[in-house]
Amino acid sequence: MKTRRLGRNGPDVSAIGLGCMGMTHGYFPIPDRGAMIDLLRSAYEKGVTFFDTAEVYGPFTNEDLLGEALQPIRNQVVIATKFGFDIDPATGVQRGTNSRPDHIRAVAEASLKRLRTDRIDLFYQHRVDPAVPIEDVAGTVGELIREGKVKHFGLSEAGARTIRLAHAVQPVTALQSEYSLWWREPEAEILPTLEELGIGFVPFSPLGRGFLTGAVTESTSFEDKDFRSALPRFSAENRKANQALVDRLAAIAAARKASPAQIALAWLLSRKPWIVPIPGTTKLSRLEENLGAAEIDLTADDLQSIGEALAAITVVGDRYPADLAAQTAR
């Protein structure tokens, strides 16, 4: 597996990481815990050294899963987790954002215990909290870094102004936000800002939550608990309208004897050398397929074909419903 550096001064990690949310949260049915431990260890054996989790995934169970699975290889991997939500400890209900300094510290201590480690390699603010100045957030994480409990500071779904304000207090190692062939909004302002400041970029949902693989079609049905059922872009009507993008991607992939997922990931890797996508999966075959993208070098003709396909197709449907959209890009 090839490696990349997250930003100017960040850790060296596998060129493709593993998003672990779906192992305990968001998609249904939830897979067997033992099978996911085996998958996580297989990922490491196949070269993955960058694993992404969060306290809110489960909640709490995802960090615990990674803690058990990765403990034997803890010093060989980079684990990213997140703070920033107010979670009812009794019910697990998310009650909005909370990035008060005392809460950040409490989350860090709890995450360290669940992850069975003495440091968090990359600690992201999961969503910007409008009630807490970002300078206070950055300062608190900076204190945790000086105490040795955290190694690097990250932001998620933050806007350019917020990134600059935070970076001036405590250098930001990486930004995690959605970026893929069907969500390219970061190209306008975020990517130039990150390049200027030397910050790495970690695209989540790099396969469009499964849509870009071709496995999700107009006829796919989602369980009520599957969070895609609430996303406007995943309505049957919008899936039908967006199928043209997947069809064009599949044609390009066939010409390269690759899968649509591999081309979608290879395209992200081609954008900047400091981009590290984190596709999620619960299946070994999909893991192996995704990791194969790191060996695909897209040619100028490939990139031109992809660009022409993107220019010819307008993706329809909002990324999030209004209430969730309000939490992003602050």
Residue 260: phi and psi, rounded to 5, are -55, -40
* Structure-block tokens of residue 300: 């100028």
Q: 3-209+264-296 in CATH: which number?
A: 3.20.20.100
Count of residues making up the chain: 330
Strands (E), 75-184: 78-83, 85-87, 94-97, 120-125, 150-156, 172-178
Spatial separation of the C-alpha atoms in residues 248 and 115, rounded to whole Å: 41
- Taking residues 161-187, what's their average pLDDT? 97
Q: Is pLDDT at 329 greater than 60 in this prediction?
A: no
Residues 6+ apart with CB under 8 A from 312: 248
- Tens of pLDDT, residues 113-164: 999 999 999 999 999 999 999 999 999 999 999 999 999 999 999 999 999 9
Q: How confident is the model at residue 323 (pLDDT cuts 50, 70, 90)?
A: confident
Spatial separation of the C-alpha atoms in residues 282 and 304, rounded to whole Å: 32
Q: Which residue blocks in 4-147 are alpha helix, DSSP H?
A: 33-45, 61-70, 101-115, 134-146
| Confidence (pLDDT) at 322 | 76
- Tens of pLDDT, residues 32-62: 999 999 999 999 999 999 999 999 999 999 9
Spatial separation of the C-alpha atoms in residues 59 and 63, rounded to whole Å: 9
Q: Quick one: how far is CA 244 from the chain centroid?
A: 25
Catalytic residues: 57
Q: Is pLDDT at 191 greater than 90 in this prediction?
A: yes
DSSP 280: B
Give, to the nearest 10 degrees, the angle between helix 33-45 and helix 61-70: 50
> pTM for this structure?
0.96
Spatial separation of the C-alpha atoms in residues 50 and 47, rounded to whole Å: 9
Spatial separation of the C-alpha atoms in residues 80 and 122, rounded to whole Å: 4
Mean pLDDT score of the chain, rounded to an integer? 95
Residue 11 near residue 120, CB atoms below 8 Å: no
Shortest CA distance to 155 belongs to which of 189, 129, 128? Answer: 128
* Structure-block tokens of residue 144: 């945790």
Q: How confident is the model at residue 325 (pLDDT cuts 50, 70, 90)?
A: low
- Taking residues 280-298, what's their average pLDDT? 97
Residues 6+ apart with CB under 8 A from 306: 181, 249, 252, 263, 267, 298
- Tens of pLDDT, residues 211-260: 999 999 888 988 888 889 889 999 999 999 999 999 999 999 999 999 99
- Taking residues 287-293, what's their average pLDDT? 98
Spatial separation of the C-alpha atoms in residues 36 and 57, rounded to whole Å: 14
- Taking residues 9-21, what's their average pLDDT? 97
Q: Is pLDDT at 84 greater than 60 in this prediction?
A: yes
Shortest CA distance to 20 belongs to which of 88, 73, 82, 91? Answer: 82
Rg (CA), the chain: 19
Q: How confident is the model at residue 327 (pLDDT cuts 50, 70, 90)?
A: low
Spatial separation of the C-alpha atoms in residues 107 and 210, rounded to whole Å: 30
